[in-house]
Amino acid sequence: MNGQTAGQIIGYARVSTEDQNLDRQIEALGEVDRLFSEKISGKDLTGRSQLQEMLLYVRHGDTIRVKSPDRLARSTTDLLAFIEKMTGWGVSVEFVDNPALNTGSPQGKFMLTILGAVAELERATIRERRAEGIAIAKKKGTYKKGARITSDQISEARERIAVGVPKAQVARDLGISRQTLYSALSGTGAYAAT
């Protein structure tokens, strides 16, 4: 357990650029058992070394304390995914500036449920708009679905299938549907020229 005891308060502070100061956030976090801080853009969760180190450090029963939600994630979707992951690990998330979102309270759980519903509505709206755009393009005869995998990936898929790897497994490993794999292997649809 990395030499830590369960039930720690883990602080996380982040600013976007080197010339910004972390002191205000660190002061707002108050006393913590371990602090992770960094000066990096919040655009990407995976590219932040201190955030990733914190994720390796936290344990069931710990609480992550952050000044505000935007210090963790820029988008509601990313924030909710992060909180869901932490909740699944038995780790609470606490926001100094927005206690109504703290995962340890019934109000926080309620607010996060509402944010989750809003994010789902946003994703559904985007899917709907995309489908409408595709339908219009198909009607005009201008829609062309692009290839999802490269010719090298198709060759690799053929080799794996030849040695007995199931097509469903190959498709999963490539992150595509089985239908897309079949089209790629047969050279039809978007893969006709491949």
Which residues are the active-site residues?
A: 16
Tokens describing residue 68: 């505000």
Contacts of 8 (CB under 8 A, 6+ apart): 32, 33, 34, 59, 62, 63
Q: Which residue has the tokens 């829609």?
A: 143
| 190: exposed, middle or buried (Cβ count in 10 Å: 0-12, 13-18, 19+) | middle
Rounded to whole angstroms, the Cα distance separating 178 from 175 reads 10
